[in-house]
């Protein structure tokens, strides 16, 4: 396969070598999201929750301490306000959920949404492994969901990357997004740093309830992957889209249809932004044309 053909193939198909080669790029990333603000999620700074934090000591309350960390038993005994101090566990579970449903096999520019999602997941996995975290995750499509328990070491990382490249999904039955999110809640340990990388098609009130439960015990980061065509249709003309089996022609001169199309995308964007503020989680946006390293910075 020549260089041009290989480049075209890598734009539409997840390749293990591509994911492994991202190790160097991941060295510029820091997964300590307690220090990262999201432009979409207001002024909130996410906090570590659950078993991701380990009790260290109790000391006299100081101005600026979080009142939620006040140790009321010690305060009552000593008649002086005391605060609990926590330190971060060295090996924090990082759980990365990646959407491979049919809507992710699409792009008009850059790479397929599924390829972009896999690259983001690989970068996060490499960065987490470098920081000493446990790496695991979930890879799912419309038929099946593969869960990998977070573990330490490079072997766990490579196992996750190999699943991204070759998930080997079953095809006996179908599952919707809510089933996938229910499984996610079941497999994620309290205190985990959880990433969900998806185009969030089919996300509804039931999906919101699943993620709401997840935020009670984990730190959550949503990464919305989209194609530029989804946010803004090109100028007037007739455009051909294909999945390799059938073609669809879209007339961008049909103003009402195009307006409805763009409004649906904007409503989804607004919905995700509203939820990120409501749950105080980080929301990142990544187009198929973006450099995923720069998005994650």
Domain-wise residue ranges, the chain: 3-45+92-296, 53-87
Per residue in 138-152, is it b (16+ CB within 10 Å) or e — as a string? bbbbbebbbbbebee
- Residues near 1 by beta carbon (within 8 Å), at least 6 away in sequence: 9
DSSP state of 92: -
In this prediction, residue 263 carries a pLDDT of 86
Reported pTM: 0.79
Percent of the chain exceeding pLDDT 70 equals: 83
Report the chain's mean pLDDT, rounded to a whole number.
Answer: 85
Mean pLDDT of 244-270: 77
The reply to whether CATH 3.40.50.410 applies to domain 3-45+92-296 is: yes
90 backbone dihedrals φ, ψ, rounded to 5°: -65, -40
Asked if 194 and 95 touch (Cβ cutoff 8 Å), the reply is yes
pLDDT exceeds cutoff 70 at 45: no
In this prediction, residue 32 carries a pLDDT of 66
Reading the block at residue 41, the tokens are 């999620």
Return d(Cα 142, Cα 246) in angstroms, integer: 20
**Short-list 206, 210, 157, CA closest to 187:** 210
Query: Tens digit of pLDDT for each residue in 129-178?
Result: 999 999 999 999 999 999 999 999 999 999 999 999 999 999 888 999 99
């Amino acid at each position: 396969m020549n260089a041009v053909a290989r480049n075209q193939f890598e734009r539409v198909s997840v390749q293990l070598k591509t994911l492994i080669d991202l190790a160097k790029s991941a060295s510029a990333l820091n997964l300590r999201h307690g220090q990262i603000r999201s432009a979409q999620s207001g002024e909130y700074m996410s906090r570590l929750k659950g078993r991701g934090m380990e009790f260290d000591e109790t000391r006299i309350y100081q101005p600026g301490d979080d009142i939620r960390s006040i140790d009321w038993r010690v305060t009552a005994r000593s008649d002086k306000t005391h605060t609990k101090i926590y330190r971060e566990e060295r090996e924090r579970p990082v759980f990365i959920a990646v959407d491979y449903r049919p809507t992710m096999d699409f792009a008009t520019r850059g790479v397929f949404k599924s390829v972009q999602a896999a690259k983001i997941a690989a970068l996060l996995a490499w960065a987490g492994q470098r920081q000493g975290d446990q790496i695991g995750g979930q890879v799912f499509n419309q038929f099946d969901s593969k869960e990998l328990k977070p573990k330490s070491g490079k072997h766990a990382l490579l196992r996750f990357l190999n699943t991204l490249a070759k998930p080997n999904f079953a095809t006996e039955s179908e599952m919707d997004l809510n089933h996938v999110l229910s499984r996610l809640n079941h497999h994620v340990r309290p205190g985990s740093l959880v990433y969900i990388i998806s185009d969030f098609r089919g996300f509804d009130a039931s999906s919101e309830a699943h993620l709401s439960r997840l935020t009670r015990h984990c730190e959550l980061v949503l990464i919305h992957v989209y194609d530029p065509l989804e946010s803004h249709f090109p100028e007037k003309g007739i455009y051909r889209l294909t999945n390799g089996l059938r073609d669809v022609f879209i007339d961008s001169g049909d103003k009402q249809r195009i307006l409805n199309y763009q409004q649906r995308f904007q409503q989804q964007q607004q919905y995700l932004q509203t939820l990120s503020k409501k749950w105080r989680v980080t929301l990142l946006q990544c187009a198929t044309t973006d450099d995923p390293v720069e998005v994650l910075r």
